[in-house]
Every structure is written in C-alpha cells, then in structure tokens.
Structure 1
C-alpha cells in the first residue's frame, strides 16, 4: 500500500513539472498564514487563476528579526543583480522592517532589521513594505504605511485604535546604504497596502483606502511619472461591496489582474481589466491555497520552479 502511495506522489510531481514545462510564464505567490509566525509560504500558477502550494504549504523561511519575529506581508522582487530581494512586516508595532536576499528562493541571506522609522519618535508601526525597481535610475524604492502620532490630524479618528496612516519610503541601489525616510503619498485619507508597478512611462499605485468612518476599506489607484512621485489623487474604488486589502497585481497579455484579501469574508478576490479603467470581478474564477494571507506575486523561470518543486 505504501509503495502505491509513493508511486502516486512521484507521478503527481512528474505531472506538475511536465505541466510547468509547457508554459513560458510561471507566477509565484509569496504569502503568509495565520499571524506570520512560521514565515514565508509560496504557491505557483501557470494561468494566473489556479494556484498550487509548494513544499506542502510548509514555510520556506522562518522569521528571526525583531522582538515579535513575524513575517507578514512578504514582498519579493527579482533585482537587477539577479538576486531575489524580500521585505516584510516584522511586528504590529515596531519601527522597522525585515530584509533578506536569495539566489534561488530556498537559501536566504542572514535576515536584517531595517530601522526605517527609528528617527520618528511618534511612529507607531511599519506595515506592509514593498519594493519597486526603477530601471531608469537603477534605484530600488522600499515603501510602507506608518501612523505617526500627532500628524495628519485632519483625518484623525478614535476608531480602530486611532491609526491614521500615510505612505513613506527610502531608496537604495545596493540594499546596504539607504536614503533618509521621506513621505511618499498623502492622499488626504488613511492609506495602507500600496503596491507600485510600471506601465509604459507611468507608475501605477494600487492602494487601500483605510478610512474607518464612514468605512471605505477598498482598493483605489493613483498615477505618477516618477517612481517617487508626486502621485495623483486616488481614483474611484476598483473593488466591490466588501472590505478588501493587500492588493498585488500581474499582467497576462493585455489583461491586468489585481488580487486582494477579502479579509472579513476569509477568502481571496480578484478583479480584471484590459484598460485599467473598467474592472470585472473574477473572484469566482480563482483558486488559491486555504489560509493564504496577502503577499505579492512575481514571475519566475520554469527551471526555478522545478527546483522549488523538489523541496
């Protein structure tokens, strides 16, 4: 009986590898589960709709930095140096973020704590960091959401522990030296969970309007000609009558997909558009691993997937 099971598992793994070989694009979803205690989880897809866990949904990297040792909201990009660079939320209340790099998404460098908000005495948190690379300036921008006590009082609220976020950033060319922290985006409301992608000559920011009263809790878009801004006024929501957060996006052909966590409904959602103006809800067409919390999507090579499938 055991031999039959082993053969079946081998055949299943062979089928997955053969299936991946037939596709030029392989998409990788980096995410966390629970509160982020066990670290980095990965899933892949060849069609952007159906996602399969890797390593039986076990963690690829356990968090080691900050007092809380969490690894929430992982963001991984492939750098111009060929390395994979990752940042993540280390704590609900810390003044910095986590950083590590890898050649293969399996073996990671020593984890570092980047104290990006340490100079702000009133900073309460550093949430959902992401990285975007600007090929023109050969610079990486790391950005995140922070509430600083006493700032932006025009949108202050006592709801939800009084959090009142804006987006901040640092830049780096080598992940060794970093610029001073600066304000990236003040849209005139409480904002978190930004992700920025290049489209032609423009940069598009997908963001969450975190306004608690009256509740918004939706995904909107803003544009800029330069990665560091200034960004335009946020547009109308692209998500529907539900609470959404943690947007991440990919483009397949001429179609844009934006995935997000329907966190009150304990499920994932997605919207699709060909022109970035008209959006169609395709939540019923996607299939993601159970318990997946938000993270980011990147494209990897078939040979890289084959290596991950062996784990």
Structure 2
C-alpha cells in the first residue's frame, strides 16, 4: 500500500531484536502474513557469515514469539552466507528465497570455509564482490524444509531478491514477479524479472538503472490499486526511493524519495 497509508502500531521500540540475535545482528527484516496460521511471520539475516535465518511470529505485530534460527541451506555443498531472506505464500506450498555466495568448484575444507566466513565478518572487499545467486527452499509450516535449490542466476552478482505473486493479465493465470539488486562491474542497481511458476525459471524483463542513479539495495515489490511499486533503500544517500508502473511490462517512473 502507499506509504502514506501506514500507521505506527507501537510508539516504543520493540525488544524483539534483543531476545535472539547472535552478536546483536538483526538486519534485512521481512514481514509476511501467513493465512494457514493466521499469524505474521518475520524473517531476517542473522549474521554476515551465517547460514541460518531468523524466525518469529506474532498475532498483532506487537507481541512476538520466541525467536529461533532456521537452517535453510540443506542440499547446498558449501553455503557461506544467507542474506536477506524473504518468503512467498502460495496456497499449495510456501517458499523462502535468499541470496547465497556462489558455490565454489569442489568442496571447501573446514578451514577454507572458516576463512571465508571470517573474511565476510571482517568485511573484506574481495569477498563483498564475490558473485552471489538466489536460492530457495519450500515449507508449509516453517518446521520442515525441502533441500535448497537455485532460484535465479542473473549472470551477475545478485542479492535482495523479492518475489510477488500476481494475478497477471488474465484471471486465474498467476504470474510471479521479482525485483532484485545486481552488481555489474562498478554499477549497482535494480532489475525486474518474471516467471509463470513460483520456483521459476525467471527471466529479466526490466533494467531500472536509469531511474536509480545511486547505489541501492533491499527492494520491496508491492501491487496496490492497479499499480506496481518498488520501494528501495538508497543507502549512500540516506534516503528511500519509490518507483511505480501500471504494469511490470510498462515503463517505470520515480515517485520521489524520502529522507
């Protein structure tokens, strides 16, 4: 919905992040309403070099369950990071997607894996530039999960993918749209993709770099009132940006920025 319609539900800071956050890290929060349980689900990144994601539920967005770490990388040879987890609700099956470091050729030794994770924690520039792709796992209850699989490879280092389930051009013909951040050389910007199935294959349909002249991340894709909106974090400028379009296949325009 438009940002002007949002309400502040709690005037005081929530203690959520203090109850379960290894080394105090809780970032990239993603909120989803889960119809089967009639609850809100919160997912988040638990660490710069963690292979778990954070999980908590709430009935009212004020009172929260105990937080726990979820392992979602089962099936991957050498997972290094699980950044920016998001979920898509589907009546038949759920999905969680996240960005993960590009697997290496051959398996890593325990020492090699530890060294890579240490480099991420220390923010080594060479590791920030290591290619990343988007993976997914399926779950119906956030208790049991399918082995992780590749969801999307843009051909470039890709993170912060967000997927929207839309009715598409014809009724009962569901489409899945994605917004993601990709790094191409020194350029960092946003792109869009689509698929006819939740698990892909996805193909890129839009390049939004002309509308986003500064580095950005964390896109959120929303369909509301006959339009599509992409909210994104222009972190170097300390602002949020909003893009809108009447269709995922129509030209996008900038709807302004906020401090």
Do Structure 1 and Structure 2 share a fold, with TM-score over 0.5? yes
Residue 159 of structure 1, CA deviation: 4.4
Distance 1:269 1:160, change over 3 A: farther
| Kept in 2: contact 1:170–1:178 (CA 8 A) | yes
Residues 28-67 of structure 1 correspond to what in structure 2 (within 5 A)?
47-49=2-4, 53-56=8-11, 58-59=13-14, 61-65=16-20, 67=22
Q: In the aligned structure 2, how far is the partner of 1:84 from the partner of 1:161?
A: 32
Q: Equivalent of 2:207, from 211, 236, 249?
A: 236
3-state DSSP of counterpart to 2:11: helix
Partner of 1:196: 163
Structure 1 portions without partners, runs of 5+:
1-26, 28-46, 152-157, 291-311
Distance 1:217 1:63, change over 3 A: farther
Residues 1-311 of structure 1 correspond to what in structure 2 (within 5 A)?
47-49=2-4, 53-56=8-11, 58-59=13-14, 61-65=16-20, 67-81=22-36, 82-117=38-73, 120=76, 122-135=78-91, 137=92, 139-150=93-104, 159=126, 161-200=128-167, 201-211=174-184, 213=185, 215-237=186-208, 239-276=211-248, 277-284=250-257, 287=258
Distance 1:225 1:118, change over 3 A: closer
Bigger relative contact order, structure 1 or 2 (CA pairs below 8 A, ≥6 apart): 1
| Kept in 2: contact 1:170–1:180 (CA 8 A) | yes
Q: Report the TM-score, using the length of structure 1 for normalisation.
A: 0.68
Residue 63 of structure 1, CA deviation: 4.3
Residue 58 of structure 1, CA deviation: 1.7
What's the RMSD between the two structures over aligned residues?
A: 2.3
Q: Report the TM-score, using the length of structure 2 for normalisation.
A: 0.81
3-state DSSP of counterpart to 1:56: coil
Q: Which protein is bigger by CA-based radius of gyration?
A: 1
Structure 2 portions without partners, runs of 5+:
106-124, 168-173
User: Would you tell me which structure has more strand in proportion to its own residues?
Assistant: 2
| Kept in 1: contact 2:72–2:145 (CA 8 A) | no
Q: In the aligned structure 1, how far is the partner of 2:19 from the partner of 2:12?
A: 20
Aligned length: 231
| Kept in 1: contact 2:74–2:147 (CA 8 A) | no
| Kept in 1: contact 2:163–2:176 (CA 8 A) | yes
Between stretches 103-112 and 223-232, larger displacement belongs to 103-112
Residue 235 of structure 1, CA deviation: 2.9
Q: In the aligned structure 2, how far is the partner of 1:283 from the partner of 1:94?
A: 35
3-state DSSP of counterpart to 1:198: strand
Residue by residue, what CA displacement relative to the aligned partner does 1:151-180 show, whole Å, maximum 9, x if unpaired?
A: 6xxxxxx74544211001111111111111
Residue 183 of structure 1, CA deviation: 1.0
Q: In the aligned structure 2, how far is the partner of 1:241 from the partner of 1:93?
A: 29
